[in-house]
Each structure stands twice: as structure tokens, then as C-alpha cells.
Amino acid sequence: MISSFFGKTKPINYIVLGVFLSLLYFTKVFFRLDGQKINDILPFELLMFTALLFAVFITNQIVRKEKATESNSYTMVFFVLLVTSFSDYLGYQNIIFANFFLLLAFWRVLSIKSVKNVKHKIFDASLLISIASLFYDWSLAFMLLVFYVIGVYDRKTFKNWLVPILGMATIFILTFTMLKVKGSLNFFEEHYQFSLGLFTDKSFFQVLDFKILTYLILNVLISIVVFVRLRNVSGGKLLLLRIVFFTFLLATVLILFNPVDDSPVLITFFPASIFLTNYFEEIKKKNLREVVLIGCLVLASTLFVIHLN
């Protein structure tokens, strides 16, 4: 029943997932008030929730436009379930905002496959990644994704390799100008630390907890299965999935080298949702689909309840 309901893209799917996410998010907000007045934090929490909600809808639009999955709402479902499972990371405001801009950047990067207006798309993606870095410094690592896609689709045009530098320079010049007016130029020195948890006094298990490690390993295994199953499909989709997997690998490296109390795990939800959906779509038996989806819902809900305590 659940798999059938989300097996198509209908407006009611957006509403159901939006309501579910709002209940989840504001329940979490209520439990972490810790003596604060709700009126003091509500405006900012609403802004964060809006960014998270748009991230879900943007993810769905990306997979529909770029045909990364079949026409269904499963990618949104898995994205929301991952948010539910890792609700203890919803307090990292900067990661939520950075993820929003990175998703827009990923969309522009994936759309390069049409080989139309390539320079504009590269420039837009570079701008968006640079904006994301203003919230989370390591977002700049995803510039590697831009260069990777240039190498895949249009490596012979030399100007394409210069466009990302122009995009970054545009944002940083504008930011420098604004900070100069405000007298806050120390922002760059304080913000762009590029710290690595493994190279500080933290141990490996303080950088990466068991839940995240299990999640990353499972996603790598699922990705391998998806690539094996889809090895005979048209090259366009396989190439797109390789780019998505490269996105997941970049985010995974950031997780592995950053402390658990500042983990960018949210950034992996977009590529992970795509691979989970492709894996789920290969399950042909309806009853088995129901069992798998209900099992994921129960697991995510259980983890959410555990995090509330």
C-alpha cells in the first residue's frame, strides 16, 4: 500500500511527506529547547525547516528532470527517512543551509549532460558551491565534482576549465566587499579553517560513530549492486550515476575526516537516496516492496525515538 502510494508523483505525496517532516522536525525542536523560549528560536527554526523541506523537493525535481530514477516519489521518501534516522544532526544549522545550495549546484552539474549552455551551468554550479562554503568551509571540496564533470562531458574546451575559478572569484570578491564595508574581514580567517578531526587530538571513533560507519558501508554496497544490475542499460544513465556516486564519495571523505559533532552526513542524503531508489525499483514483487519500505520506516522511526532521549 505504501509503495503503491509513492509509486507515482502526485501532489498528495508532497503534502504527506511535508507534514511528516514538519512533525519530525518540530518535535525535535521541542525536545531540545533546554529552557529556551519557543518564540525566541521559532523564526530561525522555521527558516531552517524551510531549507530542509526545499531540499527534499529539489531532490525530487533533480531525479525527475535528469531521469536518475523512474517516475516515482521514492527518492523523496528515502531522503525523508534518512533525515528521520539521523535527526540528531538536524541541529547543525550551517550544514542544512550549505546542503540547500549544494543541491542546487548538483542539479546544475548533472544538467551538463545535455551539453547545452555548458559554461553557464559550470559558472552557476561554481557560484552555488562557493555560497555553500560561506556556511560550511569544506563545501569547496565539491569544486572537484565540477572539474570531474567537465572532464567527462567537455574536456576539450579549455575555457570550461577556467569558468569555476571565475565563479568562485565572483562570490569571494562580493563577500570581501560586503565584509570590508562592515569591518568584518576576519570572517575569512575564522571561517575557512578546513580542520580535520583525524589530525587533531580526536581518535577515529570520536570522528566517526558506528551508526554513520554502518550507513556508509551499506550505501557503498547498495551502489555496487545498482551498478552491476544496470550495467546493460544505456550509457547516459550509468554515466549520471557515476557522477552521483562521485558526489557520495566526496561527502564520505568529508565525514571520515571531520569530527562527529560537526559531521556533514546530511550532504550524503541526496546521492544515497538516488541509489536506494534505484535498488528499490529493482524489487519486482509488490509484497516484498511493502515489507522493505515498512521496515525502513520502522527502523528510521526507532532511531528517531532513540535520539529524543
Q: Residues 151-203: pLDDT tens digits?
A: 998 888 889 999 999 999 999 999 999 998 988 888 888 888 887 765 554 54
Q: Which of 70-79, 102-111, 259-268 has the lowest mean pLDDT?
A: 259-268
Q: Across all residues in the chain, what is the average pLDDT?
A: 88
259 pLDDT exceeds 80? Answer: no
**What would the pLDDT profile of 12-48 be if each residue is shown by its tens digit?**
989 999 999 999 998 888 887 776 777 777 888 899 9
Where is 210: in which H helix or E strand?
Answer: helix 210-229
State the average pLDDT over residues 198-215: 67
- Give the pLDDT confidence score for residue 35 in this predicted structure: 66
The interaxial angle of helices 269-281 and 286-308, nearest 10 deg, is 150
Cβ atoms of 106 and 273 closer than 8 Å? no
Cell numbers for 209, please give them: 560513530
95 pLDDT exceeds 70? Answer: yes
**What is the rounded CA–CA span in Å between residue 196 and residue 45?**
28
For the question of whether the overall pTM of this predicted structure is more than 0.85, the answer is yes
100 pLDDT exceeds 80? Answer: yes
Locate the domains of the chain by residue range: 1-92+197-309, 93-194
Query: Could you tell me the pLDDT band of residue 274, with boundaries at 50, 70 and 90?
Result: very high
Query: Could you tell me the pLDDT band of residue 204, with boundaries at 50, 70 and 90?
Result: low
Between the alpha carbon of residue 44 and those of residues 41, 49, 114, 261, the distances in Å are 6, 9, 38, 21
- Give the pLDDT confidence score for residue 235 in this predicted structure: 64
